[in-house]
């Protein structure tokens, strides 16, 4: 068995783990990060994309609110290419308690969350689709964030600083010598080979899976996987994040992100983060709630639904999962459980990932005798190559918004137009050019789903009808010299079609149902992919079927 | 007042309209837009996954007496297809194949797809010929995003066909970028473009001794047969087209020959008319109203054919709360029980998804019935994808069932 050695082994390639890897590497601490799927494969890649102002937590979780407000300003500085400055509204609808408005403002002031009340007329001028029966509006610094791109940017920086990041590496065991954890056995899911990684510390940053990792060391960490279901709608009916001004509950937020608006979320306790379903009632409930914010919401085309599992850490008995604090906690298992060599970072949310990493690495650095200060709040993150062209400044426009380093909705189209690349669009819905797909393949995509997360291929209205075929072919042409065969390419298509189907069935009606049928005509009719099933097998450096990364959706 | 108004301009609607027009009737095809023909392969699928389609259909009709094929009957199937073939022949776009043996034609992924009849431009791609051991070249253009030779060739090789892949250089054109299948099809009708293409193919044949060359189905829009014949002569090898992703040039050609025939017979076509409601007297449909140019338009006819398709064609629509409705006349639908039964967990499961069998239940004369089996309209016939109880994509009878029922409605 191959053996590697490092100072810190980080388990989990979500925002938190990747953020920790960067912080460690920046301070000169050797680290290896292992993630069983792709970066953001767990919860980071399955959230609505809200850059929190802190407003949602001012009443129930003031510490989180303050942390969010602080980190919000930092993230805008260090990853402008991942953030759209949408701003955010908290609105009081006829279904909400009028009196909460004043409480909300007072709590914003108390927690340091910037807030300003604006008139309903002003709100309607900026967002004409919102319900005119809304009575009060408070504006906060919400934004939307591309959590896929952000995590890739953090990982890129971490690698530049010397961190080693291994995706599709599943931890199968932790190695314990007496009361000390000294390393881990991980399986490379592409080859099936096992590797031993010796380390001074294991950092368990596995989010909703942290309990499963801790159990390998023989310690108990109670993470309550809180399933949140979201629906992406095919229109940005608002360009501002819209929250109901009330205590956080189901279906109370709409986040405009890239080409879609996401409504979320539900919060349902699930026993296992790998086994959950999307219930039709959840979808219907959110559409009903969407109607309250935007009359006619149901008439928009729903693109897909998905669920993520919040990594809520349950410290003591709390009434409901939504009452568990959204702040994070660093668990020292030596002090807590008598097992040394392992720390767990649990809870938290995307917006505070950097702060979580900072505090975690402060503690690790202290123990390792490293006195370097944290610099993650000041260094601007690099842009991955598959995004590079889209990030270039567009000079064709005189609009000042076009010149901002931040993401803006019209930017991909402006770039495609300025490059006359319309004929080279592989994914027409999301304006993804051949160059960007090829760059994502060259960056080491392990299946079509990785490419989707990298460049948004297949996330638009047609849900991959045209671009799955095209991308699979580009993947084959690009990598057939490296051992990727036609059987692997066939398997990649079959796998991706099935992955998309899971997210589609809950929202298939109207045009999207018709689209699904057209996609069936394309793949089963025109292309006959099912006739190639005997010529499809996993491999070629792609990871398609593996129990460690399979999310079992139980049919509702 | 028309004798017959056909609602829907897909294959089934066009066949019904041609049938009525041939009898001297005044016929209108009223449609929201072009039908699913433009999305499909341009071949005529009768029944997939059987050796003998006609025998398979006879078997199917016994097992499923309400299947559209059973309702149309074998005579209508054969006559309808014979009529399409005659139209193709007269238009210089013949179809080849057989009722009793499926062809196996390569797809743009290199799968082998069964179909009964294919345009002559595709016929040299039949797998039985390709397996003769002589080399086949699969060639395309890098500029075309809907056709990738290397994977096609690799999948064909894995199925015993000596296929190789090549990327051609796009002949010089006025156009700088964005080459869709339709754009390329028009370019192929220009002699200079074709001559350049032919020279490149000839060079490959000289070098590799290819007996056959598979190209994307972009070889001409109106004169495909001539384009293919010319390229064959220049290349010195047989040429066959492989259908691409929608929009399908071969599908457009099939529609076009039917449209030309209907117009020749004096029929009319009005696209952009989305039929939204009906006016009835007792069990007679007297008028429909279409949404057109900021007003409703009233259309009247003695008899009607509903050819709006199923969920794919847009004739059946679902609401978010799980209700399915027929869009034009609000006819009763035969649907799966409850939304929970709409889909199978696997997208490509062998039997498809029950929701896509939603459609209108009909009597032996294709007239609509309600849930109790009572006739809804005595002067309306339902054809093609709007019919209940079959899955044209999964059964592999998309064109066959449409032609058979459309032709039957045109004759009754």
Eight-class DSSP state of A402: G
Each residue's pLDDT tens digit, B66-117: 999 999 999 999 999 999 999 999 999 999 999 999 999 999 999 999 999 9
Inter-chain Cβ pairs, chain A and chain B, closer than 8 A: 159
pLDDT at B128 > cutoff 60: yes
Q: CA quadruple B111, B60, B336, B380: dihedral positive or negative?
A: positive
What is the rounded average pLDDT of the residues B183-198?
Answer: 97
Q: What is the pLDDT of residue A322?
A: 63
Q: How far does A262 lie from chain B, in Å, by closest CA?
A: 17
Residue A507: closest CA among chain B residues belongs to which residue? B320
Q: Is B116 contained in some domain?
A: no
If asked whether residues B198 and B297 sit together in one domain, one would say no
pLDDT at B194 > cutoff 60: yes
Q: What is the pLDDT of residue A555?
A: 42
If asked whether residues B81 and B47 sit together in one domain, one would say yes
Helix ranges restricted to H, B73-180: 74-90, 127-130, 149-157
Percentage of residues of chain B with pLDDT beyond 70:
100
Is the CATH number 3.90.1150.10 carried by domain A2-43+148-222+326-368? Answer: no
Q: How far does A531 lie from chain B, in Å, by closest CA?
A: 6
Q: Is B171 contained in some domain?
A: yes
How far apart are the C-alpha atoms of B117 and A382, rounded to whole Å? Answer: 56
Q: Is B112 contained in some domain?
A: no
If asked whether residues B229 and B336 sit together in one domain, one would say no
Q: What is the pLDDT of residue B379?
A: 98
Q: What is the pLDDT of residue A321?
A: 60
pLDDT at A356 > cutoff 90: yes
Q: Is B140 contained in some domain?
A: yes
Q: What is the pLDDT of residue A546?
A: 83
Q: What is the pLDDT of residue A422?
A: 85
Query: How many domains does chain B contain in total?
Result: 2
Domain boundary among B203, B219, B242: B242
Which residues of B, range 64-93, sit inside 8 Å of A by Cβ? none
If asked whether residues B281 and B300 sit together in one domain, one would say yes
Q: How far does A526 lie from chain B, in Å, by closest CA?
A: 6
Put simply, the answer to whether B245 touches A520 (Cβ < 8 Å) is no
What is the rounded average pLDDT of the residues A206-230?
Answer: 93
If asked whether residues B260 and B395 sit together in one domain, one would say yes
Which residues of B, range 349-388, sit inside 8 Å of A by Cβ? 350, 352-353, 355-356
Helix (H, G, I), strand (E, B) or coil at A230: strand
Q: How far does A544 lie from chain B, in Å, by closest CA?
A: 15
Max CA distance (Å), chain B: 73
What is the rounded average pLDDT of the residues B380-394?
Answer: 97
pLDDT at A319 > cutoff 60: no
Q: Do the Cβ atoms of A276 and A42 come closer than 8 Å? A: no
Each residue's pLDDT tens digit, B3-12: 999 999 999 9
If asked whether residues B262 and B394 sit together in one domain, one would say yes
Q: What is the pLDDT of residue A556?
A: 34
Put simply, the answer to whether A469 touches B143 (Cβ < 8 Å) is no
CATH number, position B58: 3.50.50.60
pLDDT at A408 > cutoff 60: yes
pLDDT greater at residue A289 or residue A415: A289
How far apart are the C-alpha atoms of B197 and B235, rounded to whole Å? Answer: 9
**Does the ipTM surpass 0.85?**
yes
pLDDT at A392 > cutoff 60: no
| A351, two tokens | 């917006």
Q: What is the pLDDT of residue A411?
A: 84
Average pLDDT along chain A = 92
* Cα Rg of chain B, angstroms: 22
If asked whether residues B226 and B256 sit together in one domain, one would say no
Helix (H, G, I), strand (E, B) or coil at A317: coil
CATH number, position B220: 3.40.50.1860
Residue A553: closest CA among chain B residues belongs to which residue? B345
Q: What is the pLDDT of residue A419?
A: 82
Percentage of residues of chain A with pLDDT beyond 70:
94
pLDDT at A401 > cutoff 80: no
Residue A505: closest CA among chain B residues belongs to which residue? B343
Q: What is the pLDDT of residue A395?
A: 54
What is the rounded average pLDDT of the residues B350-357?
Answer: 96
pLDDT band at residue A399 under the 50/70/90 scheme: low
Does this model's pTM top 0.90? My answer is yes
Domain boundary among B242, B268, B290: B242
Q: CA quadruple B48, B52, B54, B57: dihedral positive or negative?
A: negative
Average pLDDT along chain B = 96
Domain boundary among B242, B266, B293: B242
Q: Do the Cβ atoms of A277 and B340 come closer than 8 Å? A: no
Query: CB-CB: which of B151, B159, B310 is closest to A473?
Result: B151
Q: Is B137 contained in some domain?
A: yes
How far apart are the C-alpha atoms of B46 and B380, rounded to whole Å? Answer: 25
Each residue's pLDDT tens digit, B223-276: 999 999 999 999 999 999 999 999 999 999 999 999 999 999 999 999 999 999
Q: What is the pLDDT of residue A550?
A: 75
If asked whether residues B267 and B385 sit together in one domain, one would say yes
Put simply, the answer to whether B340 touches A485 (Cβ < 8 Å) is no
If asked whether residues B10 and B74 sit together in one domain, one would say yes
Q: Does B338 contact A at CB distance below 8 Å?
A: no
Q: Is B111 contained in some domain?
A: no
pLDDT at A403 > cutoff 90: no
Q: Do the Cβ atoms of A491 and A484 come closer than 8 Å? A: no
What is the rounded average pLDDT of the residues B187-208?
Answer: 97
If asked whether residues B82 and B163 sit together in one domain, one would say no
Q: Do the Cβ atoms of B216 and B108 come closer than 8 Å? A: yes
The residue segments making up the domain with residue B344 are 2-93+252-411
pLDDT at A391 > cutoff 70: no
pLDDT at B350 > cutoff 70: yes
Put simply, the answer to whether B143 touches A423 (Cβ < 8 Å) is yes
| B85, two tokens | 């073939």
If asked whether residues B266 and B397 sit together in one domain, one would say yes
Q: What is the pLDDT of residue A160?
A: 97
What is the rounded average pLDDT of the residues B156-183?
Answer: 93
Provide the 10 A C-beta neighbour count for residue B62. 10
What are the extents of the domains in chain A?
2-43+148-222+326-368, 58-144+224-313, 385-549
How far apart are the C-alpha atoms of A529 and A521, rounded to whole Å? Answer: 11
Neighbouring residues of A279: CB distance < 8 A, sequence distance ≥ 6: A229, A556
- B376 φ/ψ angles, rounded to the nearest 5 degrees: -90, -45
| A59, two tokens | 């009443």
Residue carrying structure tokens 């069998």: B357
Mutate to test the interface with B, among A435, A513, A536 (most CBs of B within 10 A): A513
Lowest-confidence range among A4-18, A347-361, A406-420, B286-300? A406-420
Q: What is the pLDDT of residue A332?
A: 94
Put simply, the answer to whether A514 touches B177 (Cβ < 8 Å) is no
Residue B322: closest CA among chain A residues belongs to which residue? A509
**HEC letters along B253-298:** HHHHHHHHHHHHCCCEEEECCEEEEEEEECCEEEEEEEEECCEEEE
How far apart are the C-alpha atoms of A438 and A58, rounded to whole Å? Answer: 44
Closest CA to A514 of B358, B106, B182, B375: B358
pLDDT greater at residue A459 or residue B111: B111
Each residue's pLDDT tens digit, A410-420: 888 888 888 88
pLDDT band at residue A14 under the 50/70/90 scheme: very high
Q: Do the Cβ atoms of A215 and A172 come closer than 8 Å? A: no
Which residues of B, range 88-127, sit inside 8 Å of A by Cβ? 107-113
What is the rounded average pLDDT of the residues A147-159?
Answer: 97
CB-CB neighbors (< 8 A) of A520 in chain B: 347, 352-353, 356, 393
Q: What is the pLDDT of residue A410?
A: 86
- B56 φ/ψ angles, rounded to the nearest 5 degrees: -60, -40
What is the rounded average pLDDT of the residues B282-288?
Answer: 97
Neighbouring residues of A472: CB distance < 8 A, sequence distance ≥ 6: A448, A489, A492, A493, A496, B151
Residue carrying structure tokens 């959950």: A276
pLDDT at B163 > cutoff 90: yes
Looking at 3.90.1170.50, 3.40.718.10, 3.30.9.10, 3.90.180.10, the CATH number of the domain A58-144+224-313 comes to 3.30.9.10
What is the rounded average pLDDT of the residues B362-373?
Answer: 97
Q: What is the pLDDT of residue A325?
A: 67
Q: Does B303 contact A at CB distance below 8 Å?
A: no
pLDDT band at residue A554 under the 50/70/90 scheme: very low
What is the rounded average pLDDT of the residues B174-194?
Answer: 92
If asked whether residues B205 and B334 sit together in one domain, one would say no
């Amino acid at each position: 068995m191959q053996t590697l050695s490092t100072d810190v082994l980080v388990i989990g390639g979500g925002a938190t783990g990747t953020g920790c890897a960067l912080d460690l590497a920046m301070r000169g601490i050797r680290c290896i990060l292992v993630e069983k799927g792709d970066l953001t494969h767990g919860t980071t890649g399955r959230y609505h994309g809200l850059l929190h102002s802190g407003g949602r937590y001012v009443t129930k979780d003031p510490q989180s609110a303050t942390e969010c407000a602080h980190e919000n300003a930092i993230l805008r500085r260090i990853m402008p290419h991942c953030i759209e400055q949408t701003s955010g509204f908290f609105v009081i609808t006829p279904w909400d308690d009028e009196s909460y408005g004043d409480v909300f403002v007072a709590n914003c002031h108390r927690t340091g969350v910037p807030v300003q009340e604006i008139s309903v007329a002003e709100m309607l001028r900026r967002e004409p689709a919102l319900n005119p029966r809304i009575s009060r509006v408070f504006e906060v610094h919400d934004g939307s964030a591309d959590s896929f791109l952000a995590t890739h940017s953090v990982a890129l920086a971490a690698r530049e600083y010397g961190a080693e990041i291994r995706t599709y590496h599943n931890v199968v065991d932790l190695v314990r010598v007496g009361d000390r954890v000294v390393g881990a056995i991980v399986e490379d899911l592409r080859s099936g080979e096992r590797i031993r990684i010796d380390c001074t510390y294991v950092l368990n940053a596995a989010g909703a899976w942290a309990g499963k990792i801790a159990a390998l060391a023989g310690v108990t960490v109670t993470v309550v996987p809180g399933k949140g279901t979201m629906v992406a709608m095919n229109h940005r009916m608002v360009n501002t994040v819209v929250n109901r001004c009330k205590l956080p509950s189901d279906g109370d937020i709409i986040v405009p992100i890239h080409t879609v608006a996401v409504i979320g979320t539900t919060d349902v306790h699930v026993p296992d983060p790998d086994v959950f379903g999307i219930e039709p009632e959840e979808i219907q409930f959110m559409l009903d709630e969407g109607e309250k914010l935007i009359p006619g919401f149901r008439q928009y085309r729903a693109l897909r639904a998905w669920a993520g599992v919040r990594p809520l850490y349950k410290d003591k008995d709390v009434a409901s999962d939504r009452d568990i604090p959204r702040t994070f906690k660093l668990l020292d298992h030596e002090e807590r459980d008598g097992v040394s060599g392992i720390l767990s970072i649990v809870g938290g949310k995307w917006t505070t990932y950097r702060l979580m990493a900072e505090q975690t690495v402060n503690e690790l650095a202290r123990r390792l005798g490293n006195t370097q200060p944290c610099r993650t709040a000041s260094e601007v993150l690099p842009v991955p190559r598959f995004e590079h062209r889209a990030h270039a400044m567009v000079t064709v426009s005189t609009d000042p918004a076009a010149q901002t380093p931040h993401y803006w909705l019209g930017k991909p189209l402006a770039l495609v137009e300025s490059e006359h690349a319309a004929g080279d669009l592989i994914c027409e819905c999301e304006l993804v050019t051949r160059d960007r797909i090829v760059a994502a393949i060259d960056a080491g995509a392990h299946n079509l789903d990785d490419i989707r997360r990298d460049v948004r291929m297949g996330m638009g209205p047609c849900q991959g009808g045209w671009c799955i075929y095209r991308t699979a072919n580009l993947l084959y042409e690009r990598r057939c010299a490296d051992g990727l065969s036609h059987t692997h390419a066939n398997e990649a298509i079959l796998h991706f079609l099935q992955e998309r189907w899971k997210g589609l069935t809950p929202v298939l009606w109207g045009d999207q149902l018709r689209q699904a049928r057209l996609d069936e005509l394309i793949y089963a009719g025109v292309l006959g992919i099912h006739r190639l099933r005997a010529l499809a097998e996993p491999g070629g450096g792609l990871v398609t079927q593996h129990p460690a990364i399979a999310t079992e959706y139980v049919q509702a | 007042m028309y004798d017959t108004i056909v609602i829907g301009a897909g294959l089934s609607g066009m066949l019904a309209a041609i049938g009525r027009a041939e009898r001297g009737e005044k016929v209108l095809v009223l449609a929201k837009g072009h039908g699913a023909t433009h999305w499909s392969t341009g071949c005529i699928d009768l029944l997939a996954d059987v050796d003998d389609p006609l025998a398979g259909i006879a078997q199917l009709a016994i097992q499923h007496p309400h299947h559209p094929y059973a309702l149309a009957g074998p005579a209508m199937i054969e006559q309808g297809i014979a009529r399409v073939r005659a139209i193709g022949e007269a238009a210089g776009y013949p179809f080849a194949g057989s009722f009793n043996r499926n062809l196996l034609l390569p797809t743009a992924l290199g799968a082998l797809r069964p179909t009964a009849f294919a345009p002559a431009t595709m016929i040299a791609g039949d797998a039985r010929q390709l397996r003769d051991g002589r080399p086949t070249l699969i060639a395309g253009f890098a500029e075309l995003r809907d056709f990738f030779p290397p994977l096609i060739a690799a999948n064909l090789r894995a199925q015993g066909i000596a296929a190789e892949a090549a990327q051609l250089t796009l002949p010089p054109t006025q156009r700088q970028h964005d080459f869709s299948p339709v754009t390329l099809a028009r370019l192929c009708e220009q002699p200079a473009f074709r001559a350049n293409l032919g020279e490149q193919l000839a060079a490959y044949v000289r070098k590799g001794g290819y007996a056959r060359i598979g190209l994307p189905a972009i070889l001409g829009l109106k004169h495909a047969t001539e384009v293919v014949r010319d390229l064959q002569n220049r290349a010195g090898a047989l040429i066959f087209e492989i259908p691409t992703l929608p929009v399908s040039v071969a599908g457009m050609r099939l529609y076009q020959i039917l449209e030309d025939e209907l117009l020749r017979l004096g029929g009319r076509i009005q696209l952009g008319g989305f039929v939204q409601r009906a006016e009835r007297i007792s069990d007679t449909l007297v008028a429909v109203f279409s949404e057109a140019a900021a007003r409703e338009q009233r259309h009247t006819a003695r008899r009607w054919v509903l050819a709006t398709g199923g969920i794919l064609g847009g004739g059946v629509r679902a609401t978010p709360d799980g209700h399915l409705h027929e869009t034009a006349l609000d006819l009763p639908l035969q649907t799966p029980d409850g939304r929970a039964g709409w889909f199978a967990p696997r997208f490509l499961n062998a039997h498809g998804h029950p929701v896509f069998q939603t459609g209108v239940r009909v009597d032996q004369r294709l007239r609509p019935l309600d849930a109790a089996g009572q006739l809804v309209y005595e002067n309306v016939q339902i054809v093609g994808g709007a019919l209940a109880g079959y899955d044209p994509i999964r059964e592999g009878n998309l064109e066959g069932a449409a032609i058979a029922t459309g032709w039957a409605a045109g004759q009754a």
